[in-house]
Amino acid sequence: MIGGRSKLQESALSAAAVFAATAFALIVLELFFDADARSLAISGAALLGTGVMGIVVAVAAQRWTSRLGLSGQLTVFAALALTIAIANVMVAAALMFLSTHDLRLLLVLCGYALLATIGPAVLMTRSVSGRVGALREAAGEIASGRLTVRVADGGNDEVSQLGAAFNRMAEALGEANARRQELEQARRDLFAAISHDLRTPLASIRVMVEALADGVVDDEQTRMRYLKTMGTQTEQLSALIDDLFELATIDSGELSLRLELLKVEDVMAETLDTFQAQAERARIHLAFEPAPGTLPVAADPQRLSRVLYNLLQNAIRHTPEDGTITLRTRTTGNAVTVEVSDTGEGISPADAEHVFERFYRGEKSRSREFGGSGLGLSIARGIVEAHGGRIWVETGVGCGATVAFTLPAAVV
């Protein structure tokens, strides 16, 4: 629990203050008033007695006034403080051997001072309690879900500082609530996209299985075409599940990297080899333009290959026949930059802001008819950022698109 000092510590500090004040008073009496030893002893005993009595009364008042409001508690404490001061004055007056008339007059004046203090004390404490009450009402508004409420925090006292802390807390709660709503909306969108991407191939497979089981298809050529289509749909489902698993691993922070010192160009060349046949079937040219003398990087070759695979798959999907996909590398400061450029339809600025979002597909280049789960670029971003790099897309319509990422160079 967050709080101040314990009551025992506060009482000990108060007692130490009483002893220090008494010692100071006795030193002043001895140095400036030539008091003898007897007078010093009597004065010390009287001052200590009233001081200790004041501590006892204050501790008791804390318990007695705990049910009062803040204004009432502060008024009582102000009155007690003045009463203790008056008690000390009365003791000092008695020690000075004033006449009975003078002592009565002093008593009347002290009583008047006590009564006259109550009014200003009430006014001052109401101001403080009013500000605390405003904080209480604002806290109730926050508890009711109205996170835009704020309190006036002008001033430098503790209540103003409490108000400023309250406003910071309310602002943080508002931001957290906004993030929660965004995540909730993203979760709903994610489930809707997953449901669509799973439902479509499953429905197709079910129809074809029923057709084969019911004997609707009787010629061998159609049977083979159905089986081939079912295999393709199954592969798509398997790829989607793999992508979802990869994305879940990235989101949970459990993506494990087996870092090796390597040249990015080596991984790029291997990945290009795996795409040669696919590119030839699509009549797309693959070009590789490595920059000489690039720095080695510390990377997981398997994960880096996954990034390049996703980028190349995305580029092939959006590049027309006789188009070209070019892979380049260059050194940028203390990092190596990899670029995957195509000669497709390009990406509009509106789509470029969202291409790394999950299941995002632009009206043209990311539509479902082109295939893909819509997770490839999102996975690529997660892997690149896990390596300490960054990834971005260079926009343009009708002039192709370029997706680039950087990896920090290894410290050799």
Q: Do 273 and 308 contact (CB within 8 A), yes or no? A: no
List domains and CATH numbers for the chain: 7-171 (no CATH), 180-251 (1.10.287.130), 260-408 (3.30.565.10)
User: Which of 124, 49, 64 is CA-nearest to residue 94?
Assistant: 49
Percent of the chain's residues with pLDDT above 90:
17
pLDDT tens, 197-236?
778 788 888 888 888 888 887 788 888 888 888 888 888 7
Comparing 119 with 349, the larger pLDDT belongs to: 349
Distance in angstroms (rounded) separating the CA atoms of residues 330 and 141: 56
User: Is pLDDT above 50 for 363?
Assistant: no
User: Residue type at 57?
Assistant: V
User: Is pLDDT above 60 for 1?
Assistant: no
pLDDT at 364: 43
**DSSP state at residue 256:** -
CB under 8 A, 24+ apart: contacts of 43-47: 43/92, 43/95, 46/91, 46/92, 46/95, 47/21, 47/22, 47/88, 47/91
Buried-exposed string 323-357: b where 16+ CB fall within 10 A, e elsewhere: bbbbbbbeeeeebbbbbbbbbbbbbbeebbeebbe
Q: Do 301 and 267 contact (CB within 8 A), yes or no? A: yes
pLDDT at 137: 87
Name the least confident of 46-60, 113-127, 135-149: 113-127
Measured at the CA of 108, the angle between CA 107 and CA 113, to 5 degrees, comes to 95
Residue 393's beta-bridge partner residues? 403
pLDDT tens, 234-266?
887 887 888 788 878 887 777 888 999 999 999
Q: Do 167 and 150 contact (CB within 8 A), yes or no? A: yes
pLDDT at 370: 46
Using CB atoms within 10 Å of the CB of residue 368, give its burial: 0 to 12 exposed, 13 to 18 middle, 19+ buried.
middle
Distance in angstroms (rounded) separating the CA atoms of residues 133 and 141: 12
The tokens for 372 are 């893909």
Mean pLDDT of the chain: 78
pLDDT at 252: 75
Using CB atoms within 10 Å of the CB of residue 261, give its burial: 0 to 12 exposed, 13 to 18 middle, 19+ buried.
exposed
pLDDT at 4: 44
Which residue is associated with the tokens 């990297």? 257
Using CB atoms within 10 Å of the CB of residue 384, give its burial: 0 to 12 exposed, 13 to 18 middle, 19+ buried.
buried
Helix, strand, coil: what percent of the chain each, to 5? Answer: 65, 10, 25
pLDDT tens, 273-289?
989 888 898 899 999 99
Distance in angstroms (rounded) separating the CA atoms of residues 289 and 102: 107
pLDDT tens, 126-178?
666 777 778 888 888 888 888 888 887 666 767 778 888 888 898 999 889 88
pLDDT at 397: 58
Indicate the pLDDT class of residue 184, thresholds 50, 70 and 90. Answer: confident
Indicate the pLDDT class of residue 49, thresholds 50, 70 and 90. Answer: confident
pLDDT at 392: 92
Query: By three-state DSSP, how is residue 314 classified?
Result: helix
297: left (phi over 0), alpha (psi -120 to 50) or beta: beta
Comparing 57 with 368, the larger pLDDT belongs to: 57
